[in-house]
Amino acid sequence: MENKLKEILKSDFEKYMRFAVHSGAGFGFDIFGEYAVSVLNFYVGSAILTYENKLEASLYLLELYNKGLGGIITEEDREELARVFAQDPTLDYGVLKPIFG
């Protein structure tokens, strides 16, 4: 995955994380999962991310999230979650509004 794409993913992840924390919703795994699935599908639909790179991008988002948790999610679990996220077709524009709105 290109560094430019990683920068985009990281920047939008940080924007969403700040929004979630400051809004009082927190940034629990359920909220992160909704965000990750929707942003990945949005990027694929916008041709920012190829479908072939979706799994790698999903894993990268999980690595960023895991860093914030102090590394408590095992590599095996991150890989399994990345596959689940990459296969989920959900795209909720309401979830993405804080980054793109």
pLDDT in tens, 49-77: 999 999 999 999 999 999 999 999 999 99
- Kindly tell me the sign of the dihedral angle through the C-alpha atoms of 82, 84, 90, 95: negative
**For residue 41, how many C-alpha atoms fall within 13 Å in the half-sphere facing its CB?**
18
Q: How many residues does the chain have?
A: 101
Strands (E), the chain: none
Q: CA–CA separation, 87 vs 91, rounded Å?
A: 12
Per-residue pLDDT of the chain (101 residues; tens, 9 = 90+): 799 999 999 999 999 999 998 999 888 999 999 999 999 999 999 999 999 999 999 999 999 999 999 999 999 999 999 999 999 999 999 999 999 87
Q: What is the pLDDT of residue 25?
A: 83
Q: Kindly report the pTM of this predicted structure.
A: 0.94
